[in-house]
Amino acid sequence: MESRLRVQGHPIQPMLVTFPFGLFVSAAVFDLADVAGGPAFLGEVGYWTAVAALVAAALTTVAGMVDLWDVRADRTRRTAITFNLVNAAMAALFLLTCLIRAQAPQRGANGVEVATELLALAVGSVGVWLGSRLMRQFDRGRAAEPTGFEALRDIPGATVEIIRPKA
C-alpha cells in the first residue's frame, strides 16, 4: 500500500500523528501541574494546548482517511481502521473535557478532567502501538531505507565517513 499523501516519498499521516499525541500529553502535563497547585495560568495553557491538539487530530484524521481509501480489505485494513478509531476515541475524550472547560471563566482543570485526560492518553498509547504495527505492515516488502548516519550519505554535498570500531 502506498500512501496518496506523501512528502518526498514519505507518507504524511505517520508524521502528523505525532503532533496531536504530543500536544495531548503536554496538555495533560499542564493540567496535572494546575491541579497539583501550580499557577492558575497552567490550566489555561493546558486547555489551549488541548484545543490545538484537537485541530491537529482533525487534520491527521483526514490524512488517515485518504490513506485508508487504498488499503486492501485484509488484516492491514482492519488494523488501519482500528488505529483511526482509537485515535478518534482519544480525541473525543479530550474534546469532552474541552467542552466542559469552555463554559468556565477560568479554564483550569479539576481532578475528574485530568483523570479523563489520563484515560485518553492510555487509549492513545494503544493507538501508538497500532501505528507502529501498521508501519511494519506497510513497509513489509519494501527495500530497507538507511538509518542512522548511513542516511546522511544521500544528502548532496555532505561528506560522511562512518568509522566502525574494530572487533
- 91 assigned to some structural domain: yes
- 41 assigned to some structural domain: yes
DSSP 11: E
Distance CA 120, CA 118 (A): 5
Higher model confidence: residue 55 or residue 112? Answer: 55
Residue type, 40: A
Domain that holds residue 17: 6-154
pLDDT of residue 167: 63
Distance CA 5, CA 15 (A): 11
- 164 assigned to some structural domain: no
- 162 assigned to some structural domain: no
- 163 assigned to some structural domain: no
Judge whether 160 and 152 are in contact, CB under 8 Å.
yes
Mean pLDDT rounded to a whole number for the chain: 80
| Residue labelled with grid coordinates 483526514 | 62
Question: pLDDT tens across 99-155, in order?
Answer: 988 888 777 788 889 999 999 999 988 988 888 777 776 666 455 555 565 665 666
Q: Which residues pair with 6 in a beta bridge?
A: 11
Is 0.75 topped by the overall pTM?
no
- 110 assigned to some structural domain: yes
- 166 assigned to some structural domain: no
Q: How many domains does the chain contain in total? A: 1
Q: What is the 3-state secondary structure (H, E, C) of 72-101?
A: CCCHHHHHHHHHHHHHHHHHHHHHHHHHHH
- 160 assigned to some structural domain: no
Question: pLDDT tens across 80-104, in order?
Answer: 888 888 989 999 999 999 998 888 8
